[in-house]
Amino acid sequence: MRRIVQFSAGFNEGDAISNYMLILKNRIQESGLDCEIYSQNIGIDDKKICRKYTHYKPRAGDCILYHHSIHSKILDFIKDQCKSIYKVLVYHNVTPYEYMLPYDLTLSYYLKKGREELVEYKTFFDKNFAVSNFNKKELEDLGFRDVKFLPLIISLDDQPLPKNIQEETFQILFVGRIAPNKKQSDLVRLAKILKDYFPLKFRISMVGKTSREMKLYKEEIENLINYFSVENEIDLLDFLDRDELKAVYSRSDLFLCMSEHEGFCVPLIEAMHFGIPIMAYAGGAIPETLDGSGILFREKKFDLIAAMVFKLATDTMLRNRILQGQSERLDAFKRTDTFRILKTELGLKDN
């Protein structure tokens, strides 16, 4: 039986790349093929799903899917130990290191090296995939040839919970790890303007895990919240399990994204699934992910953004038009058969 072996720098269930790897593993196994996941940094609760990369023993007929988003020891391991194995790159993008530089030098180094080594390995893989056309262009600009678009697979099984129609607070949501490129700090600045200039009772929930490298940035966010006196308008929520996240999505009235760099931005698709209007800054692959739906802004003019938030909160017809456009975009996304693309490109056959 042919074996598909997935590698990544880190594996933490709930993380977008890890979720993608897990869904791929399930689909591969359902087709009768074997699939294993290996990583360098593995979450405490994920060691039954994912094994340390050094435990991998190559065997004839293996196909490696390497998911790249940051430097790790994985690439050198594959280069040294897997010379005769068929190797496939799946590129998820690398966050520009400059965002992290004021907060953590080690993480900045890994990101910088993660982008630099793409050039070194541009002819190393037998096949190259990117999870967005934005990422595909990045690889092509670096000299990669014949890069294929391999869309993300996102679990959209959860159904929204009923809304509390008595709720008077306009619930604004952002989901994404605490990181300076995600710009949670800009949501705090927006909260100050909304509070001071618009007759709107609102609450902004920011859901996202804080890694130890990002503790300084989280402190910066907390200090901004105190400085602008918006403690009663903002909830900083850490990692939520599936049911908790479903509840937060279900109660939300607007998904607002200020992120300046995204290789795809999975929460946008999740927001569409839960029927939440989206406003987003045009950072990275976000325009591609929205594909004409939602409200996209290319400048951060906070007074205008706040005015649009207020209009969305008070204009039912506008909300419905946005939701209709997002529903059409979601339907188009669901029609994409990523696993079929992968099977065709790799010549995989069901067992």
**Residue 349: what pLDDT?**
76
Domains 3-151+337-346 and 170-334 share a fold: yes
CATH number of 170-334: 3.40.50.2000
Q: Could you give the percent of the chain with pLDDT greater than 90? A: 86
DSSP 8-state secondary structure symbol assigned to residue 15: B
- Domains of the chain by residue range: 3-151+337-346, 170-334
pLDDT mean over 195-204:
98
* Domain 3-151+337-346 homologous superfamily, CATH: Glycogen Phosphorylase B; (3.40.50.2000)
Least confident of 22-26, 107-111, 183-187: 22-26
Distance CA 9, CA 78 (A): 12
The position carrying tokens 């908790």 is 244
DSSP 8-state secondary structure symbol assigned to residue 93: -
pLDDT mean over 81-106:
96
Predicted structure pTM score: 0.94
In the predicted model, is pLDDT for residue 122 greater than 80?
A: yes
Q: Residues 17-51: pLDDT tens digits?
A: 999 999 999 999 998 999 999 999 998 878 889 99
CA 268 to chain centre: 9
**Residue 62: what pLDDT?**
94
Q: Residues 45-61: pLDDT tens digits?
A: 788 899 999 999 999 99
Rounded to the nearest integer, the mean pLDDT of the chain is: 94
Burial letters 187-222, b for 16+ CB under 10 A, else e: bbbbbbbbbeebeeebbbbbbbbbbebbeebbebbe
Of 251, 113, 244, 52, nearest to 171 (Cα)? Answer: 251
Of 40, 13, 25, 17, nearest to 131 (Cα)? Answer: 17
